[in-house]
Structure 1
Amino acid sequence: MARRGAELLPDVAAGLRQPAVDYLAHLELERGLSRNTLDAYARDLGRYLTWLTAQGAEDYRGVTPEDLRTFVAALADSGLAVRSRSRITVSVRRLHAFLHAEGRTESDPGVDVRPPADTERLPKALSVGEIEALLGTVVGDSPAELRTRALLELLYATGARISEAVGLDIDDVDLENRIVRLYGKGSKERLVPLGGHAVRALDAWLVRGRPQMSAARAPRGRGSAGAPERRQRAGAVFLNQRGGRLSRQSAWQAIRTAAERAGLAAHASPHTFRHSFATHLLDGGADIRVVQELLGHSSVTTTQIYTRVTSETLREVYATSHPRAR
């Protein structure tokens, strides 16, 4: 049975192709990656297999770190953008890590091979401690506090854009199965899991906070003109003080207020939660292609920037912590 993505691999020596097929099977069966994601991996690996074949290789046992650095340099000579080169490098490194973990190679030549760096500005992400401190400032039981807590927990749990969060309707949230349906750019739909903290915060808001704000909605006169708006407002997850759908501006202000309490006003914005979500997932070992799908990025090259955030963080920690780093 042909594995997904395998048909995109080049016709090269079995010692190169079959391990790559096995790796794609691992990504499909054990990691549960989608068809599009597997195809993207296959295309990246296919370029590498073609290059190895041109170097006379028939398997991976003799591949050295210097070989990988030469391959990365060849990518640069091909004119590929930095993001594309970084993505391909990461794919190749993960393949070698898999082969070594499976005992198929004696060493992992990709351990010390870094993806090419981009001079593009890196997104700002808060540390886990800063996120917890910010969330810890919202502890009240008023409808507004319950709403803010639910909003912040949702943003951090899902990496949602602020427009996606305020656009949520009741039917988009399934607390029992811990999942939320988000509509991204171009109305593209994606399902994202909810963690326990977010589920509890949303439940508290929907049960104890939202009904009070919903009751504050000003009555409207009869007639068909008002009916669609009432239905839309009744379905919104996040409401304002008048019972209407919470605006992006009001959501932004709620975040700023919480950030000021935590002393993080200069560093926190709605998008900071999205950056932190992605960075913390990658720090925890999540596959970049999975993070891509959770964020709703159409291309993994957009998600690739977060691998550089993680690398920058590691370098900063090393520089400040190692006694012989300077």
Structure 2
Amino acid sequence: MRSVGITQGENRFLRRGIQWLRFLGWLDEPEQEHHAHHGEVAIFEKWLRQERGLSTATIQDYCGAADRFFFWLAGKGTPLDAVQITDIDDAVAAEHRRGAWSRRTIHDYAQRLRPFFLFAEARGWCRAGLAAGIMAPRFMVDQIVPKGTKRDDVLRLLASVQGDRPVDKRQRAILMLFVTYGLRAGEVVGLRLDDLDWENEVIRVRCPKPGRTHVWPLSPDVGNAILRYIREARPTGLGRSLFVTSHAPIRPVGRKTLGKIVRDRLAGISVVSGRRGTHALRHAAAQHLLDQGMSMKVIGDFLGHRDPSSTTMYAKVNLAALREVAAFDLEGLA
């Protein structure tokens, strides 16, 4: 007798069907749960997008923190205009007691509440001075050394995408960008066909913040992987985004898709513990450059760090020095 549960193939079919219905606008999805101050957060979100021009990821972080605070505040029955700094302190402390977040995550949560309360103060929604009183838990940047994927695992990861399937060609190009340049997921998502200057052998990368575009030398191995994907695997006539989904409905890939690619590929080579997202490959790229003797200044420029201790001018990069980095022996990554 057949089990009541559905098979993996059936589950995949259902997911694809739901994607199609959502794409066509035919999916009647349940409304998300809202708190009493959903309207204020929506106004804040619109301001961040239209007036500040922040990236979608940053807007989601700020608004997500505000939503989380108001869902917590609903349990106390306190309106926004009566919120005190002790309420904000209690909300942050509650996350600490819950024990599900790291100290860094709790620190970021408190920091992300500040922009909303600055906005709310300017509009008279809450008491003045709340934003200035928000004290994020102490967290030293160098308190935890970032854990990147081990070099041997990076080599095995790239070896796992040597196949001739279209999905392998796309994923190899994506992984080469992460491993070689240490790009962020948002930077890879934002790449367009026009960002590849084949004649001058450079690639333009837009940081998910307004007004910043970086130029990196295009290494032959990365260029060949991208070119193979474009010529042999990328569907045509679907806009200028470099990477698109491999299944219908075809559209530009998102950050979550890239994270899933990395996690699934690492799981495929039996790497199932530790940090396994796209940022782990970024840390692995930085560690490799450091092991090769590159200075922290050059590494900071190469990874696009904003910290002044890494680079004094974020947008000005020494291409000559970076070409030395791009020319490094990839030690089997090609």
TM class, shorter-length = 0.3 to 0.5
TM-score (normalizing by structure 1): 0.48
**What TM-score results when the alignment is normalised by the length of structure 2?**
0.47
Greater helix percent: which structure?
Answer: 1
Structure of higher CA gyration radius: 1
